[in-house]
Amino acid sequence: MKNFSIFFTLVLLLVSVESYSQNTLKKWYISGGVHAVNHPAARGFGDGLTNGDYWSFVPPLSQISVATTLNRSFSVDLQASIGEIDNKRLMIDNEFMALVGIGLRYRFANGYILKETSWFDPYLRFGANYHRMPYRGLKFDPAVYAADGTMISGVVDVKDDVLENGAVADNDHFAFSGGFGINFWIKPKFGLNIELQYVGVPAMKSDYIDFFQAKAGVAFRFGKTDRDGDGIYDEDDECPDVPGLKEYNGCPDSDGDGIEDRSDECPLEACPNGEDTEEYYCVNGCKVMKEKLEIVVVEEPEKPEVREEPKVISIEDVNFNFDKFDLTAGGVQKVKEAAELIKQGDEAYFVDGFTDSVGTEAYNMKLSERRAQTVKDALIKEGVDPKRLEIRAFGEQYPKCTNDTAEGRACNRRVVVIKRY
């Protein structure tokens, strides 16, 4: 066994060097330490799992696992464990055991359930294995008893239960395995590992030589991954699945306006914060168009049969400041002209507010109401009886022009003062 321990130590060192040399391609994982097996617990599938007398322990450097990541959730591994063990179910002592297999792991620290950088790193594992242990053709034939009740032939386990199904326990077997493990990362690349798995031999048609295996040891991670290929390793990349920029910790700025997409409400339209033109402001990466107000006062004749042409006052190029509703100096002058026209009679008027189609319907409805209220307040200040004025808000309804062009949208941002009937 001394030669096997030396060989296993050399394998551990060689795999460590190999994994380090490939760390620029894949993130590798390696763990090694001790293991123990428990055959009696397979009888009741866990019954006796915590009974220390049922476990057969193997010295250090008796098991090793090497894994490489496939994606954030899955990795594939190669495991091997050796040592002289006791099958305490069948009362077999000091036989050499080997278990070598490939497995698939599902990690819970995958960004969906736990953070990828979590120190607590549990996983499920399922594997296919080659298992060897000398059973020397042990036959589980029906027991034969003497007249006095003494068993002449047959196999009994540690609890004196007779085992029989006609099977023969060969030395070499295919075995499946399934279980769970946990890595505790003390540092980003160093931690402790524990694992428990059930190993079953389907060819036996029973659990006579199945066993539980427990492992414990140290674990190392090597190499870096860059899933989105932006040159920023996943462990430092705040957006590891989308190519991004170093100055934004791996997150993108799709429109190049200096605002990363996570904070940019219009990530495909470049509009740097603070930019201010005659047509728009930039807020959170979006263009906010400056509004133009058109006030139209329409007087209808008292008798439809002799209707005169309506008198119209058009206020062009009157802008509101962003998120403000007070008129500019030019707008105040135009409202004074409208007030003089209204005060010539005693008719009642609607003050109707409209917007273009930019923005949500609810926001535009409120905006048109505030704009109409601004005009009404200005008319009252000029001496118009407030009882003669009633505001109405229509938002983006009833466009006067098309909303597909800047000129059309400017045409639709208006307030109309019209005589009530």
Tokens matching residue 338: 């409208």
Say if residue 171 is in the same domain as residue 144. yes
Say if residue 200 is in the same domain as residue 298. no
Among the residues of 22-103, which ranges form H helices? none
Number of domains in the chain: 3
Say if residue 70 is in the same domain as residue 100. yes
Task: Answer yes or no: is 270 within a domain.
Answer: yes
Tokens matching residue 1: 């066994």
Looking at 240, 269, 289, the residue that finishes a domain is: 289
Say if residue 72 is in the same domain as residue 90. yes
Q: What sign does the dihedral 110-113-119-124 (CA atoms) show?
A: negative
Q: Give the CATH number of the domain where residue 359 resides.
A: 3.30.1330.60
Range of the domain at 274: 255-289
Contacts of residues 330-336 at CB distance under 8 Å and 24 or more positions apart, as own/partner, are: 331/293, 331/378, 332/378, 334/295, 335/295, 335/375, 335/378, 335/379, 335/382, 336/382
Say if residue 333 is in the same domain as residue 281. no
Instruction: Provide the 3-class DSSP secondary structure of residue 21.
Output: helix
Cβ pair 385, 403 in contact under 8 A: no
38 strand-pairing partners? 55, 212
Task: Answer yes or no: is 229 within a domain.
Answer: no
How far are the Cα atoms of 59, 91, 135, 304 from residue 209, in angstroms, in the given order? 22, 12, 9, 105
Say if residue 140 is in the same domain as residue 187. yes
Say if residue 349 is in the same domain as residue 277. no
Is residue 259 packed enough to be buried (19+ CB in 10 Å), middle (13-18) or exposed (0-12)? buried
Q: Give the CATH number of the domain where residue 119 resides.
A: 2.40.160.20
Say if residue 278 is in the same domain as residue 363. no
Say if residue 301 is in the same domain as residue 275. no
Say if residue 118 is in the same domain as residue 167. yes
pTM for this entry: 0.53
pLDDT tens digits, the chain, 421 residues: what are they?
444 444 444 444 433 333 333 233 358 899 999 999 999 999 888 888 999 999 999 988 899 999 999 888 999 999 999 999 999 988 888 999 999 999 999 999 988 999 888 899 999 999 999 999 998 888 887 777 767 767 766 787 777 677 887 788 889 999 999 999 999 999 888 999 999 999 999 988 888 899 999 999 999 988 777 777 788 877 788 888 888 888 888 899 888 888 888 888 888 888 888 787 877 878 888 888 766 556 666 655 555 555 554 444 444 444 444 445 667 666 677 788 888 888 888 888 888 888 888 888 888 888 888 888 888 888 888 888 888 888 888 888 888 888 888 777 777 778 888 887 6
Among 134, 207, 222, 220, which Cα is nearest to 175's? 207
